[in-house]
Structure 1
């Protein structure tokens, strides 16, 4: 097996019968593709694995990514068989797929399977953490002000019940850089602080937080760290062995392009004895922490198997290559948008302070109406309303093309000029 695949080999890899390529030919799944992060032909081959029609420009990865055809077919085939043949033997076989999925997810994040819990999404994972730690009067939790509700409201509501206090570190606009943020969090952490919970990449302005530095700061202070990876898992080349958080959460339905209601929670071995289960039920996991913390009763096991195979899909392309491609598209879109008179960009102009989430305000245009207008012409995005950085959010991913970028920028240019 050579160290790379050309386009013809890549096409053959995915023509082996849905996701069976990964099941029957594990060596192919991990083979590296050519180092052509901007090669149009290569990315056309990737796009062809998805069901999206060519005239649909989907720039909403921060909310929901489509799954490739192989993943959809796998979920459908296993679900159909489970309903056609609900035999105890097949159910036992399906229950066992969690072990392989756990191994693949762990390998993707570069940690041991024993420390990985298979959740339903980031929200569930974050809530397992905020419920599973012994916190009470006299304790403090420090939160980043741009956290998702599952990593913000979950803490503040539980503080009312358990009596600990919450301190908020407000986001700084525009992104001020690593040193300013590390200093702000360092000043917030005190002798009563037990947990620091922040977002790796924000879904608001697309700010990339200095996760490694903040995790190191927490360790130095004896504080537990929770990194919400909803916007980094499947987009960035995340190496948890280097990042070294105490907890890391992620969802498969966003950037990994995996099945809905599948996700991950990583729990560092050094804190596992301090982490209580949130749910007690049947059908726990088979190894490590999953034996005590993953009892959720009946699961959607076809989706869980497809989740593991989707990790192989990403690994077959290469997560570093996926990150580079997504950043390349986002940078091109950022540069095109800032050149439009009347566009106010909320996302940082510095490439090292962002990734592939772009938020901007098109002057004089209602975000909801503009989102509807874009959808009507086949451009999918999200909108933000209210006083906090209102506007439009584009989040391109590796299945997008430069033509998608140009189409979206031209649509914004036209609507800003002509109105709605």
Structure 2
């Protein structure tokens, strides 16, 4: 099959499969898959979707056992039941309390990925791949659209959302496409970034400035005063916030001090992996729009996708980037990029990748000839990434079904958010209990001197907690010993010259994990102070 006929074939597959499109919670057509003749390895048309549908039906049936579980945030017994059913805890060689970096995948995600791998091993024909493309880009993205609170939008899911490799790719589509599109003149205009953004949303901007000859005032920085509960008025007017702000007003005032009529983009981590602060994004959007309605607001959501009930239809950010391998407990190496179609957000960024989508179509197959310099005016322009992993792409559908209560009927995005916030409160309690053993001057009132995550205002944190180790104790060594001695996986970060530890529990953890991991950290520090465990041997930190 040549490239032209191949693409035409996939186009017909996409149109034909469209008749199967429906809300993610609805049943599929009842047509049964045909049995292959003896010795025949290819699958009959529709059989792949039938196998996928059968697994989803099985998972839904299993979930009915939890129909009575309302999942109040502090009902540990019900959340433990969920944990033990949907995660392979018995198979864990260590317990990860590091959702800000990587999470184990939900069992339904792994089961779907395994099924699709088996399907592809048996049949890699174009009909098969067309069915899998429809499963991921059709049904899967529609389920994610609902998960994001965008179910009321008339826009097709793939016009709002693109499946990428990870948050890094999504962030780089933004920072690499802003000038090429003509939306920003880097000699006259400016953007605002936060100094505790992820490197792909901070250093990457500095890289663009350095390599593309941007003007001196092209990047303005919202600064964070680490381990502080207040800033001076002069610091606030210069765009500085404390790491432990008392209220939202402090954040808003510092941010607005940096914005003017030439600001084209404000790009912020919705929750920072480097200081644990959750920004009041809906208010930020409202305040920024009042100053300059043409500002593009990008919320790096690597630390909020799968944490917060995002409600993007209400929050009205222009774009977000996220990863399934973190808090959603989805498949590895799949990300999501959202572009707000109400504001024409996608057209502000020229994609840095021009290839083909999962239907084996290039933009030209949709009417955008390369010679014209045009491409889809929506999120689909970021989906031409060439061959991806069909198994993990289809498995994103299972993550979306889980988080929207299609598998466990008690689960909703709001309940997930409440549970993670509860676990964050348990981290704070454990730190308040154990840190005085290694910091004699520690008190809850002075916690901000040792804990970077906001402790004064619970609305400004979730469950990403960063904290110091005593002078002379290398945080990386603590991380290593906690893993080797106690089998907990945590993180070590270098943030503005501070050597920090980070714990970040989510639904793959129970409340006992939280208490035990903090106790393990302090136990290791005490042993290192006594020199019964090695110090100053670990040199690498992780974001």
CA 1:336–1:235 in structure 2 vs 1: closer, same or farther (change >3 Å)?
same
Match of 1:180 among 250, 253, 265: 250
CA deviations 1:147-173 (Å, max 9, x no partner) are 111111222222231635111111233
CA 1:69–1:25 in structure 2 vs 1: closer, same or farther (change >3 Å)?
closer
Deviation at 1:35, TM superposition (A): 4.0
SS of the aligned residue for 2:174 comes to helix
Partner of 1:146: 196
Instruction: Say whether the 8 Å CA contact 1:146–1:204 is kept in structure 2.
Output: yes
Q: Over aligned residue pairs, what C-alpha RMSD do you find?
A: 2.5
Partner of 1:45: 81
Partner of 1:213: 283
* Residues 129-208 of structure 1: pairs in structure 2 closer than 5 A: 129-133=174-178, 134=182, 135-136=184-185, 137-160=187-210, 161=212, 163-164=214-215, 165-171=218-224, 172-176=241-245, 177-208=247-278
TM-score normalised according to structure 1 size = 0.89
Partner of 2:382: 293
Match of 2:454 among 335, 341, 348: 348
TM-score normalised according to structure 2 size = 0.70
2: CA distance between counterparts of 1:329 and 1:73? 27
2: CA distance between counterparts of 1:72 and 1:25? 12
Deviation at 1:383, TM superposition (A): 0.9
SS of the aligned residue for 2:219 comes to strand
CA deviations 1:61-93 (Å, max 9, x no partner) are 000011022211211221122122112211111
2: CA distance between counterparts of 1:82 and 1:355? 40
Unaligned residue ranges in structure 2 (runs of 5+): 1-50, 225-240, 360-365, 367-375, 406-410, 440-449, 534-543
Instruction: Say whether the 8 Å CA contact 1:202–1:208 is kept in structure 2.
Output: yes
Deviation at 1:18, TM superposition (A): 9.9
Alignment: residue pair count: 404
SS of the aligned residue for 1:373 comes to helix
Larger CA Rg, structure 1 vs 2: 2
CA deviations 1:233-274 (Å, max 9, x no partner) are 001111111111111111111000111121111111112443
CA 1:296–1:405 in structure 2 vs 1: closer, same or farther (change >3 Å)?
same
SS of the aligned residue for 2:197 comes to coil
SS of the aligned residue for 1:170 comes to strand
1: CA distance between counterparts of 2:401 and 2:76? 22
| 1:373 equivalenced with 2:373 (yes/no) | no
CA 1:337–1:73 in structure 2 vs 1: closer, same or farther (change >3 Å)?
same
Deviation at 1:396, TM superposition (A): 0.6
SS of the aligned residue for 2:273 comes to coil
Partner of 1:314: 403
Match of 1:259 among 331, 346, 349: 331
Unaligned residue ranges in structure 1 (runs of 5+): 1-16
